[in-house]
Structure 1
């Protein structure tokens, strides 16, 4: 799918489609959910909606504890029966993510994991880890958490006899980026993307980071048994929230095209609770959608496997191989 076709598709569904909440009878009583990036915007909207469907325990994974406490208070006012907890999580910090995952191992159950945290900047910045910030937060942080939190998700599936759910927030803007960026001439793609010379001012790097989310989620699903954990990815649509605060163009266009954060939350919750056959699939407009041919092509498959191998090696070097799951062979 060309960039122009992607943009036309976005324009069409933003104007023609309106997200709907999951059916009111949807019941997740007794379940536990983690939502990252949940103190504002789509993450907060999704957290509120999950709590409204009988969720027993909701963990708000946030970088700023004080803002997390404000979100907790708002959710608790509307859903006093849901036990809401605020846990610190910074995807710019290996130690923070390792500590968060270690704490999650003690949970008696973890049914739903919504990996929603992300960022967008128009200029190059380098994270504390040394990686370009989109690569660190949007890709490497999401990838690490998806691996570190597999164990409690699998444990819950064994306990309940039903698969747990992992949903990664992607974007249709992923398909503006090219798989050439992951299969280029460089021996290793992440070190290349970490260099300031590789960064084009504007939204290109954000779009690429979302493509990395799609490729990672698709490959991760190959290594996870759908009977244990359903792994999918979701396009929440173009929503007006604080997420676009550094992108004036998106703010201006969003006045005419943007959905509300609540509507974006409907998309996230729909992906996390419904579509049991969505393992390894991309959801948009609350349906399973095909990814573009470029992702499915031979080159796309090379890019997907290359990203998986390189990311896994990097994460093992950073956090130590003992912290990552042993069962990452291709699932049956």
Structure 2
């Protein structure tokens, strides 16, 4: 019943809500932003909108540099005064993420906005080069590690400017339909991540993508509880169902987009809205460009236990597999 209700709710807001761009009077002059997954789709549209509001410097964090350069050229035509840099970032490589974060610390004199948008959707089990299931590696682990690695430059800027920096993680309303049993009672006795890395846990279709987006919500809440919102406002959001290459692996989703989907630009409006507006949204989930309730599992007592377990497992994994990451602040007492 809950899956049907969530589906009907999604159809309702897709058909009745009209996403709005940032108001013209919002200016980002002098600010520096990073957008991951910025060469295509919602990330590209969000990066373009940020640049059009006077952003001083924009880092397009992309896996494919040539595609990043093409995105830069297009954004530059609309926002010629914004300095746009294309930096390599591969969320399937610990080394790439650590190198990226060190580059941020060395080459940027400030960092005001981070939009962690990179992700993937697949319908079959795929293993990342790190050995983890691809959704778990890219959508959860890669996003989580970057969120930790970029805390210090964001915090440093906030203390220099006297106003909080911003970080947003792209989630999705599909988190409400995630198969929660896989994280409530993971099989094998080794924990949530080891179970999700097991091919036997994978059900063909989009359920693993949905679950990875629930993990994004849980991670956002766990990290937000450890951050001071006067330094960094961290939130997560649902960008809605949008027409983009992201769903190219899913024929059903592609077909349904003809009737329900917003444009990529309208999806991008949700991203920029979350990362620029809503100063009261620390640790919150936004949908339809406003703060909304999180999935029930995330707010339940059992869900809070899962959130703690996910945090502990993820931090322990980073310590073991990515010892070069500078996340000591988050490992004390672990």
Provide the TM-score with structure 1 as the length reference.
0.97
| Counterpart in the other structure of 2:68 | 68
| 1:290-319 deviations in Å (ceiling 9; x for gaps) | 113322111111111110110011012122
Where 2:124 maps in the other structure, the secondary structure is coil
Cα offsets for 1:203-240 (capped at 9, x unmatched) = 00000000000000011000000000000001000001
Q: Distance in 2 between matches of 1:285 and 1:69?
A: 31
Task: Quickly say closer, same or farther: Cα 1:187–1:59, change in 2 above 3 A.
Answer: same
| Structure 1: unaligned runs, 5 residues or longer | none
* Corresponding residue for residue 253 of structure 1: 256
Q: Is the 8 A contact 2:179 2:207 kept in 1?
A: no
CA distance in 1, matches of 2:246, 2:291: 25
Distance in 2 between residues matched to 1:179 and 1:148, nearest whole Å: 28
Q: Distance in 2 between matches of 1:223 and 1:124?
A: 33
8 Å CA contact 2:235–2:281 kept in 1: the answer is yes
Match of 2:135 in 1: 134
What aligned pairs does 1:9-20 form with structure 2 within 5 A after superposition? Answer: 9-20=9-20
Match of 1:95 in 2: 95
The aligned counterpart of 2:49 is: 49
Match 2:278 to one of 275, 281, 297: 275
Would the alpha carbon gap of residues 223 and 329 (structure 1) be closer, same or farther in structure 2, given more than 3 Å must change? farther
Structure 1 Cα separation of the partners of residues 18 and 332 of structure 2:
39
Report the alpha carbon displacement of residue 325 of structure 1 after superposing the two structures with TM: 4.3
Match of 1:70, SS state, is helix
Q: CA RMSD in A?
A: 1.4
Q: Does 1:83 align with 2:46?
A: no
Count of matched residue pairs: 330
Distance 1:150 1:193, change over 3 A: same
Q: Does the CA contact (< 8 Å) of 1:151 and 1:325 recur in 2? A: no
Taking the aligned partners of 1:189 and 1:307, their CA distance within structure 2 comes to 7
Classify 1:26/1:211 alpha carbon distance in 2 versus 1 (closer, same or farther; 3 Å). same
Report the equivalent of 1:211: 214
1:179 aligns with 2:180: yes
- TM-superposed CA distance for 1:254, in Å, is 0.5
Note the C-alpha offset of 1:323: 1.2
Local SS of the residue matching 1:182:
helix
Q: What runs of 5+ residues in structure 2 fail to find an aligned partner?
A: none
Q: Could you list the per-position Cα deviations for residues 245-297 of structure 1 after superposition, in whole angstroms to 9, with x for gaps in the alignment?
A: 11111100001000000000000000000000000000000000011332211
**TM-score with structure 2 setting the length:** 0.96
Equivalent of 1:230, from 204, 229, 233?
Answer: 233
Q: State whether structure 2 residue 163 is matched by structure 1 residue 158.
A: no
